[in-house]
Amino acid sequence: MKLKIASLVSTAVVALSTSVVFAHGGAQEVHLSELQSSATSKYFTVQDNQNRQLTVTINNQSQGHEEIQYNVLKADGLGNTEVVANGYIAPNGNKTFSKRFGKGDYSLQLICKTQVGCNATGSIGFFGE
């Protein structure tokens, strides 16, 4: 019984620790672990009315056939969310792109196309602007 409870607690701790999102140098980072079907970063805010260039970086470290879908999400402050950029990253692939976005809250969502078994990281934010 003790072993079973310890195993459940251990699994819960791993699941919680892999969904942690980090603030990093003007950016938000997200990690999609092998036990997750999706993960979303915290929102990154563009406060002024001018278009700001945000850089998105995704690195799919999956070793098998696990393709990653990414979505850049924008929240309008009224509870509405829309996808403003999206695409796919092949296993062992990566992508970096920059795009100008207006005022709003933005996050990066990573989705494992095979439901589980993916390993990917991503970031969204200002780099060098």
Q: Supply angle C-alpha 123, 56, 78, rounded to 5.
A: 85
Q: What angle do CA 20, 21, 27 make, to 5 degrees?
A: 165
pTM for this predicted structure:
0.76
pLDDT of 9: 37
What digits encode the pLDDT tens for the residues 89-123?
Answer: 999 999 999 988 888 899 999 999 888 889 999 99
Pairing of the two strands 38-40 and 68-75: unpaired
Classify 8 as helix, strand or coil.
helix
* Residue 46: predicted pLDDT: 83
| For the chain, domain boundaries | 21-125
pLDDT in tens, 60-87: 998 888 899 999 999 987 889 999 999 9
Name the residue among 16, 62, 19 with its Cα closest to residue 41: 19
Q: Give me the pLDDT at residue 127, please.
A: 62
Residue keyed to tokens 């402050």: 77
What pLDDT does residue 13 have? 35
pLDDT digits (tens, 9 = 90+) for 20-63: 333 344 789 999 999 999 999 999 888 776 677 889 999 999 88
Question: How far are the Cα atoms of 3, 17, 80, 82, 106 from residue 76, in angstroms, in the given order?
Answer: 47, 29, 6, 9, 9
CATH of 21-125, one of 2.60.120.380, 2.60.40.3710, 3.40.50.300, 3.20.20.60: 2.60.120.380
